[in-house]
A and B are shown apart, each in its own frame.
Chain A
Amino acid sequence: MNAQPTSTGLPDATSGRRWRHALDVLAVLTSRDLKAQYKRSFFGFGWALGGPLLQVIIFSTIFQNVLGSRTENYACFVFIGVLVWGWFQGALGQSVGLITNNAALARQPGFPLSLLPHVTVSVRFLHFLIAVPLLFGLLWWNGIRPGIEWAALPLLILIQYLLTVGIAYPLASLNVLHRDTQHIVAVLLQLLMFLTPVFYNIHVIPEHLRRWYYINPMVSLVESWRQVLLEGRWPDFGTLAILTAVGGLLIVAGRRLFIAQSHRFVEEM
């Protein structure tokens, strides 16, 4: 059964054009989401800094002053955790409602719906990116200077992008059929934040449990960021290779699943 509309023999339906169009869709929708979020606010995009800053201040106050955490450079330590985790949580939290909130796009003939998770993850990535200079400033202020090891950071970003988009695909399609998904995901993400070393050091996890703890890919990612930025060490490339493979697998499988399901989306909405 051939149900997909096929366009053949058209001069402009080349794969080169498709890629350019995909990039344009990504750009246009990303800017739409950013503008829609900040257009009518005075500080605009600056609000992307508000959330992380507040979290850093709260965590620093509680853990350093009240609980007396002995981690060095705790503000930097927690800022890294908050930013890296924030991107992941924000992107997935929004991805769940991708299809259900974009019904008009889902109904558009020929629209490549499978681009939507990329849009959400990119939007959250830009939020992440705008806070990065602040992080670098804080590091500098604490006497940390850039080193050659920082070259590993783009790789960390790429891995997290792959993982997040890969997980976003099944979540978004599941939510169309079962609206409970969005609530479950919100709770799970909250839980997962505590199972990720965002505001505490991984050493507080008992040795015998740590093996299980590392199943959460965000643990290794947050750790890698800290190794590079705080300790000036290269991350463990063996781990990163595994994460890249997992991310690649998730994104390919997730996309397949998403496309296979996509013909049901409009019917279910």
Chain B
Amino acid sequence: MLGVVGANGAGKSTLLRLLGGVGRPTSGQIRTQGRIGALLDLGGGFLGDLTGRENAMLAGVVAGLLRSEMKARMDEIVAFAELEDFIDEPVRTFSTGMRMRLAFSVAVHTAPEILLVDEYLSVGDLAFQAKCSRRIAELRGEGCAIVMVSHGMDQVRKLCDRALWLKHGEVAAFGAADAVAGLFETEMKAETLRRTPDVARRRIGDGPELVARVNRFGTFEIEIDTVELQPGGGIRSGGPLAVTLGYHSSTPVAGAVFVVSITREDGTVCVDTNTQLARVEVPEIDGKGSIRFTLDRLDLGAGAYFLDVGVFESTWKHAYDYHWHAHPFTVDGGAGHKGLLAPPGEWRIGPG
């Protein structure tokens, strides 16, 4: 299984297309052996007025199966897509997720010997995604060669044997998935650093001083102007915590990802979340706005921490604005604990 990584427009999808025999390379040659299946534009060929079953048959035959073979697999396909109750309804009544599930199900049941995958993990809910991953792993176990385009380095590390990093249509690195994913991440960080302009030092309210390239990185299409921690007086272990980021953008930016993380002084990451992981739809940002992240309970042990906040480009190519170790805070309370966590607990001595 090969992972293909790279920035947008680096030629990842073009590579998949060429592997699929759609189009012809200007130079060089492509040799493939076996029937090719593709998870490229899922459900793109579906017709709204036809039923799910009719569309599935269509997609399967178009992908290279005979009608009789599709009939034999139909029940399995419908069951995998979890669409038993809807399969005879017109596809126009399906949600986008249902369409994608059906398309994915058909594609993985056509017994491909080579499978081309473009960012499949955005299909359906988390449970279904896990099922997709299992099915892909199964295909891989059966000897299917898989080429997967991905922006998620964790996914590449977990699923792929080898990875290919494309940069402006050329091979930047090719080798073990771990190594290439690591290189790619390092380069992304360096890219952010390189792009960070030398802006004047700035103070946020009465808060810390932000210095570009020291504790502040980004390209500043979006800037985080205020970072507010609540409750303001003092943060107590086991109490609630709210982080409100005030931001503004000079130009409209779509698909931005907000990140909030809490790190201990020694660098241990305690909380690390972002709007992409949490599946929060961030609308296009134009002008001023604010975003708030709340924790009902902060069960961290007492001590000194850093709040790191940032807003990133939709594919994590670089940061717009990232405040690193710029917002220190302390957690009080949590008596009776020495470790990282201080969840509520009690000792009770029994009679024996």
Instruction: State whether A107 touches B40 (Cβ < 8 A).
Output: yes
| A 28-47 to B, binary, CB cutoff 8 A, 1 in contact else 0 | 11001001100110000000
Residues A109 and B47 in contact in the complex (CB < 8 Å), given A6-B32, A7-B33: no
Q: List chain B residues, Cβ under 8 A from A9.
A: 33
Instruction: State whether A32 touches B47 (Cβ < 8 A).
Output: yes
Instruction: State whether A28 touches B30 (Cβ < 8 A).
Output: no
Query: B50: CB under 8 A from chain A?
Result: yes
Per the bound structure, the CA–CA distance linking A220 and B23 in Å amounts to: 40
In the complex formed, the residue of B with least CB distance to A20 is B66
| A 2-36 to B, binary, CB cutoff 8 A, 1 in contact else 0 | 11111111100100010011001101110010011
Residues A5 and B29 in contact in the complex (CB < 8 Å), given A35-B49, A35-B50, A110-B64: no
Per the bound structure, the CA–CA distance linking A4 and B37 in Å amounts to: 15
State the main secondary structure of chain B at its contact with A: loop
Query: A267: CB under 8 A from chain B?
Result: yes
Q: List chain A residues, Cβ under 8 A from B116.
A: 109
Instruction: State whether A7 touches B35 (Cβ < 8 A).
Output: yes
Instruction: State whether A111 touches B62 (Cβ < 8 A).
Output: yes
CB distance from A64 to the nearest CB of B (A): 40
Instruction: State whether A40 touches B49 (Cβ < 8 A).
Output: yes
Per the bound structure, the CA–CA distance linking A21 and B23 in Å amounts to: 22
Instruction: State whether B21 touches A110 (Cβ < 8 A).
Output: yes
Interface residues of B in 52-77 (CB under 8 A from A): 54, 57-58, 61-67
Query: A65: CB under 8 A from chain B?
Result: no
Instruction: State whether A105 touches B62 (Cβ < 8 A).
Output: yes
Instruction: State whether B50 touches A3 (Cβ < 8 A).
Output: no
Q: List chain A residues, Cβ under 8 A from B113.
A: 10
Instruction: State whether B54 touches A35 (Cβ < 8 A).
Output: yes
Instruction: State whether A28 touches B29 (Cβ < 8 A).
Output: no
Instruction: State whether B21 touches A4 (Cβ < 8 A).
Output: yes
Of the candidates A10, A36, A104, A264, the one whose C-beta lies within 8 Å of that of B49 is A36
Instruction: State whether A5 touches B66 (Cβ < 8 A).
Output: no
| B 164-187 to A, binary, CB cutoff 8 A, 1 in contact else 0 | 000000000000000000000000
Per the bound structure, the CA–CA distance linking A118 and B132 in Å amounts to: 36
Instruction: State whether B23 touches A110 (Cβ < 8 A).
Output: no
| B 232-252 to A, binary, CB cutoff 8 A, 1 in contact else 0 | 000000000000000000000
Q: List chain A residues, Cβ under 8 A from B37.
A: 109
Per the bound structure, the CA–CA distance linking A9 and B37 in Å amounts to: 18
| Chain B residues bordering chain A, tally (CB within 8 A) | 38
Query: A263: CB under 8 A from chain B?
Result: yes
Instruction: State whether B64 touches A24 (Cβ < 8 A).
Output: no
Of the candidates B30, B33, B35, B67, the one whose C-beta lies within 8 Å of that of A110 is B35
Of the candidates A5, A10, A24, the one whose C-beta lies within 8 Å of that of B30 is A5
Query: B24: CB under 8 A from chain A?
Result: yes
Interface residues of A in 29-71 (CB under 8 A from B): 29, 32, 35-36, 39-40
User: How many contacts between A and B, using CB within 8 angstroms?
Assistant: 105
Instruction: State whether A28 touches B58 (Cβ < 8 A).
Output: yes
Q: List chain B residues, Cβ under 8 A from A266.
A: 17, 22-23
Instruction: State whether A3 touches B25 (Cβ < 8 A).
Output: yes
Q: List chain B residues, Cβ under 8 A from A106.
A: 22
Q: List chain A residues, Cβ under 8 A from B336.
A: none
Q: List chain A residues, Cβ under 8 A from B33.
A: 6-9
In the complex formed, the residue of A with least CB distance to B40 is A107
Query: B36: CB under 8 A from chain A?
Result: yes
Instruction: State whether A28 touches B67 (Cβ < 8 A).
Output: yes
Per the bound structure, the CA–CA distance linking A10 and B41 in Å amounts to: 27
Instruction: State whether B36 touches A109 (Cβ < 8 A).
Output: yes
In the complex formed, the residue of A with least CB distance to B90 is A39
CB distance from A101 to the nearest CB of B (A): 11
Query: B267: CB under 8 A from chain A?
Result: no
Per the bound structure, the CA–CA distance linking A8 and B35 in Å amounts to: 10
CB distance from B109 to the nearest CB of A (A): 15
CB distance from A97 to the nearest CB of B (A): 16
Instruction: State whether B49 touches A3 (Cβ < 8 A).
Output: no
Query: B20: CB under 8 A from chain A?
Result: yes
Query: A191: CB under 8 A from chain B?
Result: no
Of the candidates A5, A29, A39, the one whose C-beta lies within 8 Å of that of B58 is A29
Per the bound structure, the CA–CA distance linking A262 and B15 in Å amounts to: 17
Q: List chain B residues, Cβ under 8 A from A6.
A: 31-33
Residues A10 and B34 in contact in the complex (CB < 8 Å), given A25-B61, A36-B49: yes
In the complex formed, the residue of B with least CB distance to A37 is B49
Q: List chain A residues, Cβ under 8 A from B283.
A: none
Query: B38: CB under 8 A from chain A?
Result: yes
Q: List chain B residues, Cβ under 8 A from A13.
A: 35
Per the bound structure, the CA–CA distance linking A100 and B54 in Å amounts to: 22
Q: List chain A residues, Cβ under 8 A from B143.
A: none
CB distance from A111 to the nearest CB of B (A): 6
CB distance from A218 to the nearest CB of B (A): 32
In the complex formed, the residue of A with least CB distance to B49 is A39
Instruction: State whether B54 touches A107 (Cβ < 8 A).
Output: no
CB distance from A42 to the nearest CB of B (A): 14
Of the candidates A25, A27, A107, A111, the one whose C-beta lies within 8 Å of that of B44 is A107
Counting from the closest, the 5 A-B pairs by CB-CB distance are A109-B20, A104-B45, A263-B24, A5-B21, A104-B44
Q: A5-B32, A6-B32 are in contact. List 13 more A-B contacts (CB 8 A).
A: A2-B30, A10-B35, A10-B113, A13-B35, A25-B62, A35-B50, A36-B47, A107-B44, A110-B21, A110-B36, A263-B23, A264-B23, A266-B17
27 A-B residue pairs with Cβ-Cβ distance under 8 Å, sorted by A, are A3-B25, A4-B21, A5-B20, A5-B21, A6-B31, A7-B34, A8-B33, A9-B33, A21-B66, A24-B67, A28-B67, A29-B58, A32-B58, A36-B47, A104-B45, A105-B62, A107-B17, A107-B41, A108-B22, A108-B38, A108-B45, A109-B20, A110-B36, A110-B64, A263-B22, A266-B17, A266-B23
